[in-house]
Structure 1
């Protein structure tokens, strides 16, 4: 075994895992709060056409996040001996409240000025997000040399994802609803979320100090050598499946408020979204450790396939049941989130295995670079699905933003487009991702049972 891998710690204290995992709450809030609420806010409160709003969000979220993520990823690798990864959490945390508020503080002005505001503030938002999200993910691969321990670490991470979902997708929309659903309601809510992000990142930063830095740091992957990452077949297959899954997640997530308000015809959609999201959050928190146990018996590959396929099927079924009693929606929300806990935990464990294998086989520290690429995929996928594709689908099916801001109903064709956006397209995409992992990932038997050999794709 490579000396760098050998000097990584094995088991970590439970308190350390939990304390570091708290940082995921901030990452989830940064990912989900705008994904769920920003498009809905711009169209239903500010009266911006969905295609225009989607484009204003999509461009900085994809193109600028690509630059920011790659720069932070390469820099965190190269500066690791002098500037430990945990310090990036402190930098990002201090900037988080300002970034979160700025995106929603769209002034009452011309549409051109409003679109420019969203473009600029969301670019700054993505820079702050990159500052802490890429080093945070990279550090998981350096916390232990044991693949089974890394799966447990991702279980902790995904359990805190559930807490982030609870705050971003349940507490936030319910707070907006309670405060009046107008512009001040959104500003107060998003300011509070920004402060919570600061606190969570400070907690993670403090607990990260307990995690030993690698005794030897492998040669970092230079920026000019980044294309070599795509010659790693294991990593590439994971990336391709993640592209499909994150685009699907973005489409479904941004369509959720539209689906609840118009397809389900709920009178208080943000309140109902809050209740369903709370159910989802608890399902994620409870499901993550269960899926870790399942993976020890069935292996990571089969566990991912079962969870991703289940997620896709539940999504498709829900689209056919918009008129069902709300209790049915509660059950479907719980099932969907339980499946999300499975594939979300396992795919990150496979990613950490891939990073560890690259360190052992190539003698290179690719943690930051691989994490940057992965972060780009997540952000670009969520952006493409949650802004550009949703905006295009809704506009193509005739969604009327002016009627929405005036409280008027939508046409039957627009309702059909909302169902296609929330259910049909994401459900099929998630099934495709499950087939990709089933067909192309080949897991080493000892690793599937929690042994010490990294998974090979």
Structure 2
């Protein structure tokens, strides 16, 4: 690979459905990695490897916190890359395959090892896995801002992407626990699950690499010569700055809830099999309501749509605090409403990101989407890591008991209360309060009518 300038832009042309769908299938990679560690890694450590809840939360947090450093670096490197495959596409295949292999290894902890040794093994492999993910995710998320200059087309692309992201989350999030149980549970079951998820990742990265071969590449011009200079430009983009702060905080809230799914099923609903249904009810609404959210966005704007979706997500999560006192079917109804809000929050957040990048391009004349998406994905990854860390800290505060048997240990009433609060009240407060960041979002952005069409 060498650095240089991309071929002339064709980003003004309409994108075909094949390109939209093919690009969106990269969500098999991002959806699986964004979901499965948050869903299973914490209980894998506490209920299979015997790691204390607080320490397990830190082990999930720290490797992903490394992405705060490596994601902007990955963005800068891809901004300055020039190959016959384009600036971004080489990273889709090499980063994606590396990620898949490392992910499978992460859930292959040695049998019979002491908790400390197993924990160290998971932490080290997770660190390398997070690094590989950065070099896939940052170039992947950068591509829409360069594939099209059309304001509405970016929303159409994100509609496809979020719908397929929801599908990927559904398949990996529901399939991974099922694979664990179907293959005997415990460490052995998690090993088979790692192979299953790695296969999904390879399918996704190969597909997006092949299908985007004829997609518009846009024009990636030379960017600021130093990372400090690039980050200074990012900081000067107020809409981006406030959007990323809100989205990162909300990612922490959502991932806190995600980390608690297994624990909520086991210790609040007292039904281990409920974890699959909980996940299905949370994610499957996105497959149906995405066109509705898009129409809402067309009518009231992306920012208002984002707020409406976030309020829906917050209210449904908060009301789940009554779960021990209401029929189970009502709990699933609240989960479904939460899923509807989550779908909109994801759609509008991802659709607003290219608008912020386009604002910088209009001001500077330079396409440096990799830097912006590097900061975005670093923040999002940190948020996704903070959630399990927060949930693990809540479990530790409420005296949760760990296990090495693969079966959750019996818990006290205090620990069960901690599970409930960590799954409901804590994430609801985080997601709701994050909206404060959006107060100044639209001050520097042109209206939709002034955006390139």
TM-score, normalization by structure 2? 0.92
Q: Name 1:178's counterpart in structure 2.
A: 182
Q: Name 1:413's counterpart in structure 2.
A: 414
Map 1:85-100; keep pairs closer than 5 Å: 85-100=88-103
Q: Structure 1 residues 444 and 233 mapped into 2: Cα distance closer, same or farther (>3 Å)? A: closer
Q: Name 1:39's counterpart in structure 2.
A: 42
Q: How many residues align?
A: 442
Cα shift at 1:5: 11
Contact 1:161 1:284 in 2 (8 A): no
Which of 327, 332, 335 pairs up with 2:334?
A: 332
In structure 1, what is the Cα distance between the partners aligned to 2:335 and 2:412? 26
- Structure 1 unmatched runs, 5+: none
Q: Structure 1 residues 227 and 19 mapped into 2: Cα distance closer, same or farther (>3 Å)? A: closer
Deviation track 1:144-169 (CA, whole Å, cap 9, x = no partner) reads 11111101111111001111111222
Q: Structure 1 residues 323 and 181 mapped into 2: Cα distance closer, same or farther (>3 Å)? A: farther
Which of 210, 217, 220 pairs up with 1:217?
A: 220
In structure 1, what is the Cα distance between the partners aligned to 2:358 and 2:179? 42
Cα shift at 1:192: 1.2
In structure 1, what is the Cα distance between the partners aligned to 2:283 and 2:391? 24
Partner-residue secondary structure (3-state), 1:142: helix
In structure 1, what is the Cα distance between the partners aligned to 2:185 and 2:443? 49
Which of 250, 254, 259 pairs up with 2:255?
A: 250
Contact 1:47 1:405 in 2 (8 A): no
Report whether the alignment pairs 1:442 with 2:446. no
Contact 1:219 1:363 in 2 (8 A): no
In structure 2, what is the Cα distance between the partners aligned to 1:418 and 1:380? 22
Deviation track 1:200-251 (CA, whole Å, cap 9, x = no partner) reads 111111111121222x433323313133111211111111112210111121
Which of 155, 158, 162 pairs up with 2:159?
A: 155
Contact 2:96 2:133 in 1 (8 A): no
Q: Name 1:234's counterpart in structure 2.
A: 239
Q: Name 2:369's counterpart in structure 1.
A: 367
Contact 1:173 1:274 in 2 (8 A): yes
Which of 331, 347, 350 pairs up with 1:348?
A: 350
Q: Name 1:431's counterpart in structure 2.
A: 432
Map 1:28-427; keep pairs closer than 5 Å: 28-63=31-66, 65-80=67-82, 83-107=86-110, 108-214=112-218, 216-221=219-224, 222-228=226-232, 229-266=234-271, 269=272, 271-386=273-388, 388-402=389-403, 407-427=408-428
- Structure 2 unmatched runs, 5+: 1-6
In structure 2, what is the Cα distance between the partners aligned to 1:287 and 1:443? 29
In structure 2, what is the Cα distance between the partners aligned to 1:446 and 1:119? 44
In structure 2, what is the Cα distance between the partners aligned to 1:20 and 1:242? 22
In structure 1, what is the Cα distance between the partners aligned to 2:117 and 2:103? 19
Report whether the alignment pairs 1:12 with 2:15. yes
Identify which range, 226-235 or 150-159, moves more after superposition: 226-235
Deviation track 1:303-342 (CA, whole Å, cap 9, x = no partner) reads 1110001000000011222343332232222211111111
Q: Structure 1 residues 413 and 192 mapped into 2: Cα distance closer, same or farther (>3 Å)? A: same
Cα shift at 1:59: 1.3
Q: Structure 1 residues 406 and 131 mapped into 2: Cα distance closer, same or farther (>3 Å)? A: closer
Cα shift at 1:444: 8.5
In structure 2, what is the Cα distance between the partners aligned to 1:289 and 1:337? 14
Identify which range, 122-131 or 109-118, moves more after superposition: 109-118
In structure 2, what is the Cα distance between the partners aligned to 1:62 and 1:165? 22
In structure 2, what is the Cα distance between the partners aligned to 1:66 and 1:95? 20
Q: Structure 1 residues 355 and 406 mapped into 2: Cα distance closer, same or farther (>3 Å)? A: closer
Partner-residue secondary structure (3-state), 1:364: coil
Q: Structure 1 residues 406 and 164 mapped into 2: Cα distance closer, same or farther (>3 Å)? A: closer
Q: Structure 1 residues 408 and 281 mapped into 2: Cα distance closer, same or farther (>3 Å)? A: closer
In structure 1, what is the Cα distance between the partners aligned to 2:245 and 2:68? 16
Contact 1:304 1:434 in 2 (8 A): no
Cα shift at 1:289: 2.2
Contact 1:403 1:409 in 2 (8 A): no
